[in-house]
Structure 1
Amino acid sequence: MELRIFTEPQQGASYDELLAVAHRAEETGFGGFFRSDHYLKMGAVSGEPGPTDAWTTLAGLARDTRRIRLGTLMTAATFRLPGPLAITVAQVDQMSGGRVELGIGTGWYAEEHSAYGIPFPSLGERFDRLAEQLAVITGLWETPPGKTFDFAGTYYQVSESPALPKPVQDPRPPILLGGMGAKRTPRLAARYADEFNLPFASLEDSVAQFGRVRAACAEVGRDPERLCWSNALVLCCGRDDAEVARRAAVIGREPDELRANGLAGTPAEIVDKIGRYAAIGSQRIYLQVHDLADLDHLELVAAEVMPQV
């Protein structure tokens, strides 16, 4: 089981704070540093110091880190056009020496769109646009050097694109898709995903959705074992109940609720729950950390959880 760190900077974080977490994650052996792609804090108006752009952040981290994998859970397809996004991700992949992964989804948070003047179409149209974006992005990256790429979609049209720049990773950076959609999500994952991720899903819901994606793979003749299966869960680890309670209070949650819905408790409790996710086929866990100033939290997990999973 690989453990990665997952942050939510829209809740209030500067680049320097994110860099400190990425550095500590890299130093302590976590496999990746991922961040959300949101422009508005959830649950309040302020969110000081304000949002940081996901791909601007990752470009900086590409130069300020050396080993750790970098990516998004999940870039909103509503935020960017597919051609420019393909260019951005390929450039950041070059800047990182081939360590970037693109998690992408439909976008869901209506309020951030209205707060920053971003169109927010219906869910059906957002899925249609996501499908076309995936076709364009992968098509641009996978077009052989010296060839051009064309695409005639309902929402996006590409004509005689030189399909540059190329990412370092060949044929392209890994693509992460996820979510609990019962029909279109599994079909898109079967066609485009290198990793399928479920955020904040129970064991039972994970089993059901992993099964839907496996069935969709079978329908298109794809081996589901070629996908990586992963979950994202809120982290709240402590050496004892008092430390768990202290960390839970800082992020405004209750220990019992976090034990039920996240990864909370002592290292032994967390190792046990990770083992239950591993038993249903999950191969990677994204540990969502909310208190970015608490770098000792990462140290504890690296020292007492990581060696046992």
Structure 2
Amino acid sequence: MSTDHPAAERRSLSGPTMGTRYSAVFYGSGDVDERRLAAALQSTLDRVDRQMSTWKPESDLNRLNDAATRVWVPVPAELMSVLQASLRIGRQSQGAFDIGVGDLVGAWGFGARPAHGDGLPGGPAVPKPAITAEALELDPHLRRARKHATLALDLSGIAKGHGVDEMARVMRQFSIPAWLVGIDGEMRASGAKPDGTSWAVAHERPVRGVREAMGVIELEDRAIATSGNYRHYRDIGARTISHTMDPRSGMPLENRLASVTVLAETGLEADAWATALLVMGEIAGPRLARLMDMDAIFVLADGTVETTL
């Protein structure tokens, strides 16, 4: 790969999105209009948020969530694509990845709209959600969707990855040869730095209350995402509740994994599969990753590391 970037200088941009911040680091000559680039990135991410946020009552996702059953709802092409990918990954992961967990997320106090009031301490009684693949019907040709059962969709396990892919599209539109973009822990890189080295991304040690790297991953023309139980959680009495729900049990996730990191061609795939493999657990997760020839790093709660790289 050519690393010839004439007069390339390191630039960086950042801004608010999806309840966190995005970042873009790139190398380019002086002809890159940073103001236009920043505006394009922000506009793109605002569009993703307007379509896929569970926190914005007027989002396209929430219009679908609020619609009556068996009523067709118009869906933007971008959201339709993410819904299709979500159902596919749900099938491939044998139900470990499921976007129909919105009521569970809310009931346990992690969502925008808590079910049954307030995410009751001690364990709310929430009916197990319908199987999303059976309850959600998509019509890609007419760009519409409908529910056949009560269903609260939550795209928090895939929307940021998609957002990173949309950032990548903007960077390519501006003909920038080398960049690293990210939203929170979801990152995607293109090209190499002017000195020929790859982008370096920290692999965070999954310890609550501690921010330190347990290693560095070199990234070039790939995406990376990490899911874990060490950042977003609640303590209820002596019990620590993960923000990740297990759609198979209808309960917060409980297994021996502390984090899963996935490298993939796109941010969407890395993001969703990091969640899916975390839910699958320390035995089934690595097994499926190897079967699908997926690059992943599994860190157990006791610090043990297993990789399929």
TM-score exceeds 0.5: no
Q: Which has the higher helix share?
A: 1
TM-score by length of 1: 0.27
TM-score by length of 2: 0.27
Q: Which has the higher strand share?
A: 2
